[in-house]
Amino acid sequence: MGEVNMSVEAELIDEHKVGISQWKVVPAPHRMITLGLGSCVGVVLYDSVMRIGGMSHIMLPDSSQFKKNDNKGKFADTAIPMLLEEMQAIGARKRVIIARIAGGAQMFSSEERKAVNNIGHRNVEKTFEVLDNLGIKVLAKDVGGNKGRTMIFDTADGSVWIRMLGQKTRLL
């Protein structure tokens, strides 16, 4: 993975923020960004032919584990299919969509990790499972560790950058 210097032209593109438990779908040329991917997982789906992209910021792996699960953007098992459905509604074709994922860090100490049942790892596993069940190939990943991430996605060319505290922005 190489170091990336984002150009001046790229700075002129509209940027859409994707918050925790949200998803967005936009056609090119737009950029999406999600901040604070600690144990959460950011998922980018991209149709490079139609140049339609989607991003989701997933907080938890499985909606069936909760009685109150009406926020479909919160869970991997509901957010990813909804993201795909919304992309297809504006012309994306499932057979060419690829995914990139980031996040799933272990932000807690050993004792705290036991209390939250290794949520970062579970989020990553469920994300891979859902994408596999949908027949979507994961092109790249940047997961695990113990630092939060910011994920930036440019629908103009499908590029995804990762920023981590104390490190240079890098291409995923």
Contact of 151 with 102, CB cutoff 8 Å: yes
- Smallest CA-to-CA distance from 138 within 98, 103, 94, 92 is with 98
The pairing of strands 52-58 and 41-47 is: antiparallel
Rounded CA-CA distance 128/91 in Å is 24
Instruction: Show which residues are catalytic.
Output: 40
- CB 152, CB 126: distance < 8 Å: no
